[in-house]
Chain A
Amino acid sequence: MRIRVRLNGRTVEHDVEPRLLLVHFIRQVARLTGTHVGCDTGNCGACTVLVEGKAVKSCLMLAVQADGKDIVTIEGLANGGGLHPVQRAFIEKFGVQCGYCTPGMIMSACALLASIPSPSEFEVREALEGNLCMCTGYEQIVDAILHASTLDRGHGGPRRAPQAPHGRLGHGPGDPGRASGTTEAGHGR
């Protein structure tokens, strides 16, 4: 079946089998491998992309269901050479450890900030409930998204001064060395 999507602003048209998952369309047909396959069971959120501006798991959607839709993947965020504010914030706040979950985290964060430009910490954690990170305990990821909300969308300087200096200072509870059992508490619910 022939489908045509807008993928990161570019029209992609291709014949696909109905059973092809959107994530495999993105990775294998469009050759954009920034979108990751983590669990492949709809739990981990590593494959999160934006479809019509909404965060969805691309392993739980058929490519044919995306026909005619507008899709944004992690590759679609950077503007020319400049990183998207959420990407910059993840670097500045060390929101990355192994990095596997990061593209999905960032796409979920972008969807959140598009609807709630200045979210509370609770809203950030709620927005991430479908994105699992096995490394960080979430603290720096949450910090990064809160930080991103203070940055200018124009990929320029900060909208207002960041509240804390960069680095791990003040991020003790989120240290990667934390016992894995505390990860759930990181969800805050």
Chain B
Amino acid sequence: MTPERFEYVAPASLDEATSTLRDLGDEAKVMAGGQSLLSLMKLRLASPRYVVDLGRVPALNYIRDEGDAIAIGALVTYAELKASALLRERCALLPRAASVVGDVQVRNRGTIGGALAHADPAGDLCAAVLALDARLKLVSTRGERWVWAGEFFLGMYASVLEPDEVLAEIRVPAIAGWRCAYLKAARRPSDFALVGVAVRCRIDGRACADLAMAITGVSDRVFRARSVEEALNGRELETALIEETASRSMDGVDVSGDIHASSEYRTHLARVYVSRAIRAVGAISGPPTPSV
């Protein structure tokens, strides 16, 4: 399979990238690692006239300690997230989610910026940044703006990113010592999530606090599990509460069904994984958990 013909532009700086995008308008598509976009182009589900490759903008590849936050350049790969000692210590949810994206080869090429801009409804990192309340820096020749992850995703493969904007940086809170988990159900290790649950919280005395949960793979976009958050925050995580909360976690959610999993099966799977994710952060053992 070969993509349709396109013109290739490889800017050397972010400024050059944004002015290129301003000039080319919505006929251009930004490529980072290409692990999603190139697949779509080969299937001819996407046929941009111009491909603007950010791969030659080294200034977008960094993981930086900013005190109460960690700044991550858009071109940081999944493999780099997974290996980052800084993130493992101070924001472990992100490397955990990154470590189960695709496979080794995909993680060597695919980037955090590409993953978020692609806004895949089953994206692992989309759930992680949403649960983390990350902030995203969008840059264009018109200036820069910061949006919360919660405002970024609009629907299936849709985000607030304008055609002339580049997602340049992701800022996640430094939450060393917090509990976090990313649990993913997939048919094979390199597959997309049928269900992915990202959760972080801290334990204040016996009660759980600042718990945030985001779910991917079950709907047309990643979403925050508000009912779970409301039910658990300020409460002690114990089995009966967890089970009751998980059993109601998919109420009101329009759960998708496809050839990989029916809506009913996915709903069941989501409840089970919500329960397991809460048990994981609560350090509460449950029924034996088969590894997936």
Contacts and interface: CB of A to CB of B under 8 A. Distances in A.
Interface stretch (B21-29, B97-105, B149-157, B239-247): B97-105
B190 A189 contact: no
B5 A19 contact: yes
A20 to B, nearest CB: 8
Report whether over half of chain B's contact residues are helix, strand or loop; otherwise say mixed.
loop
Contacts of A187: 188-189
B104 A111 contact: yes
Nearest to B10: A64
Interface string A35-60: 00000111101001000001111011
A189 B187 CA distance: 10
B6 A189 contact: no
A62 B38 contact: yes
A108 B105 contact: yes
Contacts of B102: 130
A50 B87 CA distance: 26
A18 B39 contact: no
Interface in A45-99: 45, 48, 54-57, 59-62, 64-65
Nearest to B38: A60
A121 interface: no
A19 B108 contact: no
A61 B34 contact: yes
Given A21-B2, A41-B39, A187-B188, A130 B34 contact: no
Given A62-B34, A65-B34, A187-B188, A18 B105 contact: no
Given A21-B2, A60-B34, A42 B189 contact: no
B104 A189 contact: no
A24, A48, A64, A65: most-surrounded residue (chain B CB, <10 A): A65
A60 B35 contact: yes
Interface string B34-59: 11001101110000000101010000
B2, B42, B103: most-surrounded residue (chain A CB, <10 A): B103
Given A17-B5, A60-B35, A65-B53, A43 B109 contact: no
A108 B106 CA distance: 12
Nearest to B4: A19
A1, A42, A55: most-surrounded residue (chain B CB, <10 A): A42
Report whether over half of chain A's contact residues are helix, strand or loop; otherwise say mixed.
mixed
A129 interface: yes
A135 interface: no
Contact of A19 (B3, B10, B35, B189): B3
A1 B51 CA distance: 14
Interface in A136-178: none
Contacts of B3: 19
B106 A130 contact: yes
Contacts of B6: 18-19
Interface of A: 1, 17-21, 24, 40-43, 45, 48, 54-57, 59-62, 64-65, 108, 111, 126-127, 129-131, 184, 187, 189
Given A56-B105, A60-B106, A61-B34, 14 more contacts: A18-B7, A19-B6, A41-B42, A45-B105, A54-B79, A55-B105, A59-B42, A62-B38, A64-B10, A65-B34, A111-B104, A129-B190, A189-B291, A189-B292
23 contacts: A17-B5, A19-B5, A40-B42, A41-B1, A55-B104, A56-B109, A57-B109, A60-B35, A60-B38, A61-B34, A64-B53, A65-B34, A65-B53, A127-B104, A129-B104, A130-B102, A130-B103, A130-B104, A130-B106, A131-B103, A184-B187, A187-B189, A189-B189
